[in-house]
Structures are given as C-alpha cells and as structure tokens.
Amino acid sequence: MHANLLGFVSMMIFGVAYHVIPRFTGRPLHRPAAAALHLWVANAGLAGMVSGFILRIYRWQPGMALLGTGAVLSAAGAALFIYNIWRTLDVPAPRPAVLPTLAR
C-alpha cells in the first residue's frame, strides 16, 4: 500500500510542487540541491519501508530495523520538502514583469 501512496501519490505531489511552485509564484526554488537530495532520500526510504513491511510478515527481526530506517528516511525527505518549499515561498513577491510593448 505504501508503495502506491508514498511511492506514487506522494512522489508525484513532491515532483509537481517542485516544478510548478517556482514557475507559478516567480520565486526560484530555495535549494535545488536539497530537492535532488530529497529524491535519493525518499527513494531509499521507500525501498526500506516497503521491504521492511514485506519482511515483517515473516517476523524476521532485521526487517523491523529496515522498516524503521526507511520510515525515518521517508519522514526526513518529507521534512526536507516542506522546509525547501516554505523557504521558497518565504521571500518577497517578485516585481511583475512589464511587457516590452507597454514600456515607454
């Protein structure tokens, strides 16, 4: 279930937000490198969580550690996203562009 909710729905929201928020608001993304880091952290976390959930069925103890690590990584990735978007929006609005034909 989390492969779908976290690995598809949430990832799509993250990706679309990183793409459209800077364009719609005219504010550049605060830390593009943090967004790239989020990609890796989120995918590592997702892999850990999904594997951990599967291994938990067999009551294999290391599976729980994997689940825990994956959960922490997934949460850390989401926190990185929230921080980056918050800092992106927390700057003064850019000046509206003046169309060349109207500038006299």
Site for ligand HEM in 23-42 (CB under 6 A): none
Q: Is 84 exposed, middle or buried (0-12, 13-18, 19+ CB in 10 A)?
A: buried
CB atoms within 10 A of CB 73: 20
CB atoms within 10 A of CB 38: 23
- 80 in contact with ligand HEM (CB under 6 A): no
Rounded to the nearest whole angstrom, what is the least distance from the CB of residue 101 to ligand HEM in the complex? 47
- 5 in contact with ligand HEM (CB under 6 A): yes
Q: For residue 48, what are the CA distances in angstroms to 62, 79, 82?
A: 11, 18, 21
- 89 in contact with ligand HEM (CB under 6 A): no
Give SS3 for 43: helix
- 66 in contact with ligand HEM (CB under 6 A): no
- 71 in contact with ligand HEM (CB under 6 A): yes
- Nearer to ligand HEM by Cβ, of 68 and 94: the residue is 68
Residues contributing to the site for ligand HEM (CB under 6 A): 1-2, 5-6, 9-10, 71, 74-75, 78
